[in-house]
Structure 1
Amino acid sequence: MLQRKQSIFILLAIITGVIMLFSPLYFYSAGGLGYTFKCFEISQLGVLNKPVDVNILPLGIVAFFAVLQSILALFSFKKLKLQKNILQFNMLTWITILVIIIYYSNNIETFLVNFQIGAVVSKPDIGTFLPIIAYVFLFIANRGVKKDEELLKSADRIR
């Protein structure tokens, strides 16, 4: 039953997650140079987007894992209880991703302050807000799964 309403919201969460994997999360300006923070790298804008030596691989791995969880939830529509549990864990994963983004953004800003001359200006980019949007989509999908469970329980009582 991929045509259910909650499946559409899970699909929207998948699309949001994939967009987040490739979109910039933060933009930094320090010492006349620009830096972008993405899920898998921090790069210095300008000549060939030179990568900066800061390990942010755990964020990319957790974000990729969250997208895989959403895909698993989308295709576990025959087992509502399992789908509900996957969705709830996936919602927790998206909150964790948001916390990791905030943590890394503060650490990157500190790193740039220590190694650059001048003030560091940081601006959140579109990717920072995508985990919140994915969480909202999964929350709506989870409500739909709960309604389906209640509907099945009431149908079993009638028999």
Structure 2
Amino acid sequence: MIQRIQTIFLLIVGLAMLVFLFAPIWQKVDSSSGASYTLTAFYLEMVSAPEDGVKNEFVPYVVPGILGLLAVCIAFIAIGMYKKRMRQIMLSTLNSILIGTALGLSAYWATQAEGEFLPGIQGNYSYGLFLPAIALVFNSLAVRFIRKDERLVRSMDRLR
């Protein structure tokens, strides 16, 4: 199981999406007023003034977090299904859809927040935005190598 390269790729997918759940995706800080906005996978943290405190908005922003959590679970389940390669391919393909949707929604809400909050100040995209893209690449590599194993096993069955 661990000696297969696709297992390592799926492990990287799971870990990248796990870090995505806790990493900031986008940040904008106004140094003069102390206002800051931070978008994560689960919420948008807003501090309009330091004395007002922190306000978290969950409603539309929780969706990439839920999709990321599902992607982590599916990646680790797919690692355990190393004997059922076709089901592993199916789970990894579903995982690609979930990761792509989480990436798209995160990028969409980050660009929307860029124009909506503190329009005169430039915001920064953080490493959390790029983790689903990395996970998507490694998930595609895992599917490729699982298919390669399946072809190898089928060719050996033909030789018997």
Q: TM-score range by the shorter chain?
A: 0.7 to 0.9
Instruction: Identify unmatched segments of 5+ residues in structure 2.
Output: none
Contact 2:64 2:103 in 1 (8 A): no
Deviation string 1:62-83 (CA, Å, 9 cap, x unpaired) is 1111111111111111100000
SS in 2 for 1:25: strand
Aligned equivalent of 2:157: 156
Residue type of the alignment partner of 2:108: Y
1:73 is the counterpart of 2:75 = no
Contact 1:26 1:128 in 2 (8 A): yes
Contact 1:35 1:42 in 2 (8 A): yes
Calculate percent identity across the aligned residue pairs. Answer: 29
Aligned equivalent of 1:38: 40
Q: CA deviation at 1:54?
A: 5.2
Contact 1:41 1:51 in 2 (8 A): no
Instruction: Identify unmatched segments of 5+ residues in structure 1.
Output: none
Hey, which bits of structure 1, 4+ residues long, moved more than 6 A? none
Contact 1:35 1:43 in 2 (8 A): yes
1:105 is the counterpart of 2:110 = yes
> How do residues 5-154 of structure 1 correspond to structure 2 at under 5 angstroms?
5-30=5-30, 32-44=34-46, 50-53=54-57, 55=59, 56-113=61-118, 119-154=120-155
Provide the TM-score with structure 1 as the length reference.
Answer: 0.87
Contact 1:11 1:74 in 2 (8 A): yes
Q: CA deviation at 1:53?
A: 3.1
**35-44 or 20-29: which moved more?**
35-44
Higher helix content, 1 or 2: 1
Deviation string 1:76-109 (CA, Å, 9 cap, x unpaired) is 1110000011111111211111110122113323
**36-45 or 126-135: which moved more?**
36-45
Distance 1:89 1:69 in 2: 8
Distance 1:77 1:71 in 2: 11
Distance 1:36 1:103 in 2: 14
In the comparison of the two structures, how many residue pairs are matched? Answer: 155
